[in-house]
Amino acid sequence: MLSKAGVGSRTEARRIIHAGRVKVSGRVVENPDHWVDLERDRVHLDGKPLAAQKKTYLLLYKPAGYLTTRADPEGRPTVYDLLEDLGRWIFPVGRLDRETSGLLILTNDTQFGERLTNPRHGVTKTYLVKTATRLEDAELEKLRRGVVLADGPTLPAEVQRVRDSVKHTWLEITIREGRNRQVRRMVEAVGSKVLKLVRTRIGSIGIGDLPIGRYRELKLDEIRKLLK
For the annotated catalytic residues, the residue numbers are 97
Cβ–Cβ under 8 Å, residues 46 and 27: no
List of E strands, the chain = 22-24, 27-28, 43-45, 48-49, 57-62, 91-92, 101-107, 125-131, 148-149, 152-153, 158-164, 169-175, 194-202, 205-206, 215-217
Instruction: Report the alpha-carbon distance of residue 205 to residue 218 in Å, rounded.
Output: 9
Name residues whose C-beta falls within 8 Å of residue 225's C-beta, 6 or more positions apart in sequence: 203, 204, 205
Give the ranges where 26-166 is alpha helix by DSSP (H): 110-117, 137-145
Q: Reduced to 3 states, what is the DSSP secondary structure of residue 6?
A: coil
CA distances from 57 to 18, 190, 220 (A): 29, 36, 9
Helical axes 110-117 vs 220-227, angle rounded to 10°: 50
Phi, psi of 174 (to 5 degrees): -120, 125
Contact 91, 108 (CB under 8 A): yes
Question: Phi/psi of residue 58, each to 5°?
Answer: -115, 145
